[in-house]
Amino acid sequence: MTNPISGTFALVRAAYVLAREGVVGAFPPEGLPAGAKLLHRLARLIQRGSTKGRDRSDRLSRALHRLGPSYVKLGQFLATRPDIVGADIAGELGALQDKVPPFERHLAVAEIETTLGRPLGDLFLDLGEVVGAASIAQVYKARIRNPDGTERFAAVKVIRPGIRARFRRELDTFRFIADFLERFVESSRRLRPVAVVETLTQSTRIEMDLRLEAAASSEMAENVARDKGFRVPAIDWERTGRDVITMEWIDGIKLSDVGAVVAAGHDTKKIGVTVVQSFLRHAMRDGFFHADMHQGNLFIAPDGTIVAVDLGIVGRLSRDSKRFLAEILYGFIQRDYRRVAEVHFEAGYVPRTQDVASFAQALRAIGEPIYGQPAETISMGHLLSLLFEVTQLFEMQTRPELVLLQKTMVVVEGVARSFDPKFNMWVAAEPVVSDYIMTELGPAAKLQEARDGLEAGLKLLRKAPELAVGLEVLSRELPELIENGIRLNDDTLYDLVQDGKASIILGHVERWVIALALVTIAGALVFG
């Protein structure tokens, strides 16, 4: 943990840089208490003159880059949590990109050889130049010889040396700053800074193990194997480890280069539809989606296929969350606000103490204004953002997986509109949502639920002999238990110590658990 002296210094430095780069001064002082207003004035005094005229997002980007790559990563993480920092700041942070010079080649070679346990020459014919560098890793274009003697290109991503130790130190500093804010700045408590840092720590730990990124890419490849128009690069597991990931090289154009995509003759309207429908399909069908689908992580291959890379951040939805997403979107499409409200209550997202009719009325206030607008101006991501704002009024607890989903939906919607300004989100989404509704909530789904219930009943029947034994044990030993309690005599204790027969304990515990469970079941059947 960071000691108080270095932690205080880091806090003062961060505050100074934010003030110096004009970030603090860019926020309005209205509504601040007297002490905070004084600090705001001081921040305006030390603000650099060159920051005037710059927008707030540019000031924030400059400040975080000046503080260091860990702060940039913190900003990128907070961009995924508009529920914490607000939609405006999250949008500004979403534009943050790592601007880090590449590290030396010999360090990358040492990292590869140590991780994979083989000389570089045994792994690659050639490790080319760096094609991308970020705060955690950098990417090379390499040549590999196939078993049949042919050659292929691959993308090799290597963790930056020493980055784990650096992030560990700086995350300890973040933890100190967060704890300070929660203790002494009352207005910050609703943002839960300590919880934010803990979540960032876990997210960074996962992102720094490239085997997990490889596993996520492999899982998505299986999910989309039959999908047309979308795929992810194949993983070379032989050349992948904790600090190195090797994958198929993608010969395509980044979707961030709209002009090059247009010049190559691709169907721009189709690109938008493919990106959005693919994301919704992954979320609702698979419950597993790429949570960082910005233009820089999406390529278009010569045949028009969208290829997604960099699955360091992914999202998962439970079966209930998938149903929740599909039914609220379908409900808004059909203008069935009562049903949308009921779904929230059925999923347990809104407390039963709230009123369904009042909640449906609030949802109508969100949905009805949409239908007076041209379809291409309606943002589904904005709709979900408004939805989460309203649900807070009805005491709905924050659902991180849904917030991540909403953030990603805003991003993919932006990708689609960059290629087609009149992109109709509802027309693109309707086939995917309807297909999910029919598959998961239609007659076939009801038959599957009945089949699952029947299988569960058969499993219970197969356990009937064991349950009968439990009842026999209960009827024989319950009177003694009531009169004398559970006892272990000296001989039993001696056997346990001498022979280490833990199974004796497990056997007793198992019998009593079965017996007591049967009493509970019997009581429910008799009195329920």
Residues that are catalytic? 292
CA–CA distances in Å: residue 348 to residues 192, 319, 327, 366: 23, 13, 14, 21
The one-letter amino acid code at 5 reads: I
Residues 6+ apart with CB under 8 A from 228: none
Q: What is the 3-state secondary structure (H, E, C) of 117-184?
A: CCCHHHHCCEEEEEEEECCCEEEEEEEEECCCCCEEEEEEEEECCCHHHHHHHHHHHHHHHHHHHHHH
Query: 396: which DSSP letter?
Result: P
- Reduced to 3 states (helix: H, G, I; strand: E, B; else coil), residue 213 is helix
Pairing state of beta strands 306-308 and 230-231? parallel
Are residues 138 and 231 in contact, defined by beta-carbon separation less than 8 angstroms?
no
**Per-residue burial over 370-379, b = 16 or more CB atoms within 10 Å of its CB, e = otherwise:** beeeeeeebb
- Sole residue written with tokens 């002082």: 29
**Per-residue burial over 41-58, b = 16 or more CB atoms within 10 Å of its CB, e = otherwise:** eebeeebeeebeebebbb
Q: Is 68 left (phi over 0), alpha (psi -120 to 50) or beta?
A: left
Q: Is 348 left (phi over 0), alpha (psi -120 to 50) or beta?
A: left
